[in-house]
Amino acid sequence: MFDVIIVGAGPTGLALAGELRLHGVDVVVLERDAEPTKVVRSLGIHARTIELLDQRGILDRFLAAGTKHPVGGYFAGIQKPAGVRLDTAHSYVLSIHQPVTDRLLEEWAVESGADVRRGVDVTGFTDHGSYIAVQTDTGELAGRFLVGCDGGRSTVRKLAGIDFPGEPSRVDTLIAEMEATAPADEMLAVMTEIRKTQKRFGIGPIAGGLVRAVVPAADVVEDRATPPTFEEFRQQLLVTAGTDFGVHSPRWLSRFGDATRQASRYRVGRVLLAGDAAHIHPPLGGQGLNLGVQDSFNLGWKLAATVAGWAPEGLLDTYEAERHPVAADVLINTRAQMELISTEPGPQAVRHVLSELMDFDNVREFLISKVTAISVRYDFGDPNPQVGKRLRDVALKRGRLYELMHAGRGLLLDQTGRLSVAGWGSRVDHVVDVSEELDVPATLLRPDGHVAWVGEDQESLVEHLSRWFGAADN
């Protein structure tokens, strides 16, 4: 029997597998597709996800495969100059295609001991109370927990009977990589002109002599899993741009919509949801992959603690309590962005006003902090504004903070030298060091980097150690 069965080998499922393996959880990942997808749905990683990768000591792999771009004011396609000041040591967007991100996360998960099985289709499951029996087209597996990371059409969510309320797609967009005969400067000139009004269009050369193109679809289809035909794509280029740019020899074609839905629950007994299985939204701002990976880092240590038996009562339920509002906020901001890229006069007028507002530094910083998720603060019931927020990487006298978090444990950063985590040493590291960037005597961090407590009182610290890390060892 496995401790955890994960369905879906996308970035959410693979990140969760790697995180669970840090804690010795026996995990298997089941993926319906026999081969990793070549479809590039995500083009980059935002600051909060970059921070999490840094906390686990695997960021260098991603930096070597991607390109850093300065963070600028960007919302609903409104471009403002770079130079936005963000509360992070990673104030950039990492340009990296999703298939590469998937590969690197899978390598990390497998190196850590995860079992990834491709070409396995989940057909059902039975909850036996103390474990879940999962039926697949290749046989049955048993696990203590089942996590659906299997996308917007999640089989696990449907089998669990979890509602997925929201709004269906109103528009579809086609996306593809292919070859083209038109020169790059011609593509740029046409795109520049069209994007003055139509923000759902784009075309340009990428690596390997290919062209990446995005174009509005003619209508909304019922089954978005069915890719468009090449002829359909070419016709839409003609309709939108007045030319097909001589496109030919497509490598892949796909489509996406602007449906906005969120699962009513993230957990039913031993079944949980994460990533697109729990929430879907328009892709504006590139938040989808990042939101799913951040789900995994919130859930991973809590699920591992539950498997290990030391989780305090209700810890696993804080996953939904914390992440559901975060996703709801993403749904709101992507809905808003979708309205703002409409070609209708009303949305265009609102867009003009927002563009003027974004000339103010604090407006740009507010919006980009929202998109990059560094402004997320969980409600722990503590009025201290630092509690519930994630802590940026800070320089210490003997290194830097994130270098101390690779094992995925809790961490007490103690600038007083007078505190103790005795009784929790198997779950929480105690580091006595100082930082000129911290103005609190000590801070207790959860494994996901969020601040659980600040202060210098031992009795108060013990209370919060118990709250997040269970009873003290005998």
pLDDT tens, 183-215? 999 999 999 999 888 889 999 998 888 999 999
Please state, in angstroms and rounded to a whole number, the distance separating the CA atoms of residues 87 and 268: 36
Please state, in angstroms and rounded to a whole number, the distance separating the CA atoms of residues 334 and 209: 32
What's the mean pLDDT in 264-272? 97
Express each pLDDT in 313-342 by its tens digit. 999 999 999 999 999 999 999 999 999 988
User: What pLDDT does 45 receive?
Assistant: 96
Q: Does residue 223 surpass a pLDDT of 80?
A: no
- Chain centroid offset of residue 417 CA: 36
Q: Does residue 386 surpass a pLDDT of 80?
A: yes
Q: Does residue 372 surpass a pLDDT of 70?
A: yes
Among the ranges given (57-66, 322-331, 340-349, 371-380), the one the predictor scored with the smallest mean pLDDT: 340-349
User: What pLDDT does 62 receive?
Assistant: 97
Q: Does residue 90 surpass a pLDDT of 80?
A: yes
Q: Is 254 exposed, middle or buried (0-12, 13-18, 19+ CB in 10 A)?
A: buried
> Which pTM value belongs to this model?
0.94
Cβ(14)–Cβ(31) under 8 Å? no
User: What pLDDT does 295 receive?
Assistant: 98
**Do you know the residue count of the chain?**
474
Q: What are the start-end ranges of the H helices in 45-176?
A: 47-55, 59-65, 98-111, 155-160
* pLDDT tier, 224 (very low <50, low <70, confident <90, very high otherwise): low
**How far is it between the farthest Cα atoms of the chain?**
74
Q: Does residue 121 surpass a pLDDT of 70?
A: yes
What's the mean pLDDT in 298-302? 98
Please state, in angstroms and rounded to a whole number, the distance separating the CA atoms of residues 220 and 194: 22
Say what the alpha-carbon torsion angle 263, 269, 270, 271 is, to the nearest 10 degrees: -20
User: What pLDDT does 85 receive?
Assistant: 79
Among the ranges given (40-49, 57-66, 154-163, 319-328), the one the predictor scored with the smallest mean pLDDT: 40-49
User: What pLDDT does 86 receive?
Assistant: 87
Amino acid identity, residue 324?
H
User: What pLDDT does 261 receive?
Assistant: 97
* pLDDT tier, 217 (very low <50, low <70, confident <90, very high otherwise): very high
What's the mean pLDDT in 165-177? 93
Please state, in angstroms and rounded to a whole number, the distance separating the CA atoms of residues 32 and 427: 35
Among the ranges given (37-46, 138-147, 264-273), the one the predictor scored with the smallest mean pLDDT: 37-46
CA 151 vs CA 96, 161, 257, 280: distances in Å: 20, 16, 14, 8
Domains of the chain are: 2-166+261-372 (3.50.50.60), 172-257 (3.30.70.2450), 395-469 (3.40.30.120)
Mean pLDDT taken over the chain: 94
Among the ranges given (11-20, 154-163, 170-179, 222-231), the one the predictor scored with the smallest mean pLDDT: 222-231
What's the mean pLDDT in 150-164? 96
